[in-house]
């Protein structure tokens, strides 16, 4: 069995468990979780979005009300 086949089989087993017991927390190997796309995207943070909003609406040097 290749790594991809293992990850796919493990992901399908996790999916089956979740569907059978939706309220139950299922521990998942980090490699399987990554294969399933379960990790939070960290390329953009909420702070980045807020900073862009402030810069777009008030100019780059805005620090709050004067």
Alpha carbon of residue 17 to chain centroid: 20
In a domain, 66, yes or no: no
Start-to-end C-alpha separation, the chain: 65
| 3-class state of residue 2 by DSSP | coil
In a domain, 65, yes or no: no
In a domain, 52, yes or no: yes
In a domain, 63, yes or no: no
pLDDT, average across residues 30-41: 86
Count how many domains the chain has: 1
In a domain, 64, yes or no: no
In a domain, 41, yes or no: yes
Global pTM reads 0.57
**Between these two residues, 41 and 1, which has the higher pLDDT value?**
1
Host domain of residue 32: 3-58
């Amino acid at each position: 069995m290749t790594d991809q086949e293992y990850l796919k089989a493990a992901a399908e087993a996790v999916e089956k468990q979740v569907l059978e017991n939706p309220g139950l927390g299922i521990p998942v190997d980090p490699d399987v979780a990554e294969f399933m796309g379960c990790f939070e995207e960290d390329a953009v943070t909420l702070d980045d979005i807020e900073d862009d909003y402030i810069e777009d609406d008030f100019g780059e040097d805005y620090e709050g009300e004067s």
